[in-house]
Amino acid sequence: MSVAAPELIDAPVAGPVERKITAPEVIIPANDIDVGLTATLNTNGFVAVTLGMGADPITFTREVVESERRGLPAWRFRKEYLRDWDAQSGAPVFDTEWVERQRKYCCDPVWRYDVEPEIGDDGNPVLWRSSGLPKLKLVPSQGGRLKVFISPDWQPPEIPAGSMSVRVAFAMGIDVGEGVGASDSTIQVFVGSTREQAAVFKDNRIQPAELGRIAACIARWYNDALICPMRKMHGITTLRAMLEVGYTRIWRHHQPGGLIEVAAQDLGWKKGEATDDVLFGRWIDAMQFDRVTLHDLETVQQHSQYIYDDMGRVCHQKLKLLPVTARYQHGDLVVGAAAAYRACMDLPRYRQTTPFTIPADSFEGIRRHADRMDARRAHTEEDW
C-alpha cells in the first residue's frame, strides 16, 4: 500500500510501501561488492535484517571498500564490514609482525641471579623482626632464575657521563602460579621511563608465599620498584607475603590519599588478566605501536600463543605439538609483562616519599644523635 503524497507536496517521489515480512525476502539485491538488504521472519518473532555494503553503492564504491580492506587486518575487515561473527576466532591477538619486531631486541641475559638467605656475622640467618622470616638476598648464580638485562644502577644515556647519577624508577609485574609444576609464576621488571624489559624471573615450582618474598627482594634491589601483582587465586598469598616482609610499594586500585596501604584487599590487580581490556588491551596496544622493548626471547615467543576464541575473548592457544608440561606454561610471562606495563604507566602516581637522610658526621647529624641519646637516658632513668 503506497501512502500517496498530496498535490501540494513538492516531492516528486514514490511514497513508502507496506513491508510486513512473512517470508525471506531480498529487498535490495547484492552487487559485486557485498549483499544488499535481506529480511527474514524468525520463529522468535523478530525480523532479522542483513544490511550489507551492496545496499548503499553511493557510499561504498569499489575504491572505498578496497581502501578499507587494505587499512584493516583481514579478520577485522570481515567482522566490521562483512558481518562475519567468527572472523576473529582463532586469529592471533598479537600480530606476527609485532612479535617479529620484538624478536630483533632479544639477547642473552647480561647476568643471572638467584636468591639465598642472608647470613649474619654470627653465622645464623638474618630474620625479619616483624615476621621472623629469613631475609633474602640476590647472589650471582650461573643457572639463576632471575635473568637480568638491565641492572638497577643503569643510567639513562641522555645523562652526561660522570656529571651526576640518577636513581632510575622500575616497575614490576607478577603472575602467580600454583607452584605445583604446572603454570609458571613469573616476575617481569621494566624500566619505568623507557618501558624496556630489565629482568625476568620464572619458576613453576615456587610456592606463592615464597614468590612474594623473592619479589620483595628483587623489587628492593631494583630501587624499590612499584609492583603490580595479580590478586586472583594464589595472588593474595603472594601479596600478604610481600607485606609480611615490609614491602608496601604495591599497585592498588584506589589511591588511599597519602596513607600507607597495608590491608591486602585493595592491593594488586583484582580483575581479569587476559580478558581485561584495561590490562591486556593496553599491552596489546603497546606491542602494536612498539612502545615496549623486550629482551627475553621466551617472553616474545609466548605472545604467539594468544588467540581469540569463538566469543572474541583472548585465550591461550592449545598447541597439540607442544608437550603437555609446556602447554600449562603458556603466556604467563606475557601476563607478567602486561602487569609490569600497567605499573609503568601508573608510576607517576606512586611518587616515592623517602625521608631525607642526614649525614651522620654533619653538625645536624651529631646534634640529632645527642638529642636521641638524651631522650634515651631520660627514659632509662624514669624506668629505673
Partner 1 sequence: MRVITPSVELKRQWTARVELARRHPWWFLLFFVWTCDQHDLVDPIKPTPALRPHIKVMSELWHDNPRLVVVKSRQMLMTWTFVALYLWDALFHQGRLIMFQSKREEDAIGDEVSGDGLLGRAKFILSHMPGRQFVIPEYDEAKHKQGRKILFPWNNSTIWAIPQGAAIIRQRTASGILSDESAFQPSAGDAYVAARPCIRGGGRYTALTTADMADGGHTRALYEDTLDQGDYERSGTRTD
Q: Which residues bind partner 1 (CB under 8 A)?
A: 3, 5-6, 8-11, 13, 15-21, 27-28, 34, 36-37, 39, 42-53, 55-56, 58-60, 79-85, 87, 232, 272-275, 310-313
CA distance 305 to 26: 42
Rank residues 84 and 374 by Cβ distance to partner 1 and give the closer one.
84
Contact present, 305 and 330 (Cβ < 8 Å)? yes
Rank residues 22 and 354 by Cβ distance to partner 1 and give the closer one.
22
CB of 217 to partner 1, least distance (A): 29
CB of 159 to partner 1, least distance (A): 42
CB of 16 to partner 1, least distance (A): 4
Contact present, 1 and 14 (Cβ < 8 Å)? no
Rank residues 127 and 274 by Cβ distance to partner 1 and give the closer one.
274
CA 279 to each of CA 163, 262, 283: distance values in angstroms, whole numbers, following the listed order = 38, 23, 7
CA distance 105 to 353: 34
Contact present, 282 and 290 (Cβ < 8 Å)? no
CB of 31 to partner 1, least distance (A): 12
Contact present, 15 and 2 (Cβ < 8 Å)? yes
Rank residues 5 and 74 by Cβ distance to partner 1 and give the closer one.
5
Nearest to 201, CA basis, from 138, 141, 274, 148: 148
CB of 85 to partner 1, least distance (A): 5
Beta-carbon contacts of residue 55 (< 8 Å; ≥ 6 apart): 28, 35, 36, 37
Nearest to 346, CA basis, from 226, 191, 204: 226
Rank residues 19 and 254 by Cβ distance to partner 1 and give the closer one.
19
Rank residues 126 and 274 by Cβ distance to partner 1 and give the closer one.
274
CB of 18 to partner 1, least distance (A): 6
Rank residues 56 and 203 by Cβ distance to partner 1 and give the closer one.
56
Contact present, 279 and 271 (Cβ < 8 Å)? yes
The secondary structure of residue 71, as a DSSP letter, is H
Task: Tell me which H or E stretch contains 47.
Answer: strand 47-51
Query: How do strand 226-229 and strand 170-175 relate by DSSP bridges?
Result: parallel
CB of 318 to partner 1, least distance (A): 16
Rank residues 83 and 282 by Cβ distance to partner 1 and give the closer one.
83
CB of 235 to partner 1, least distance (A): 13
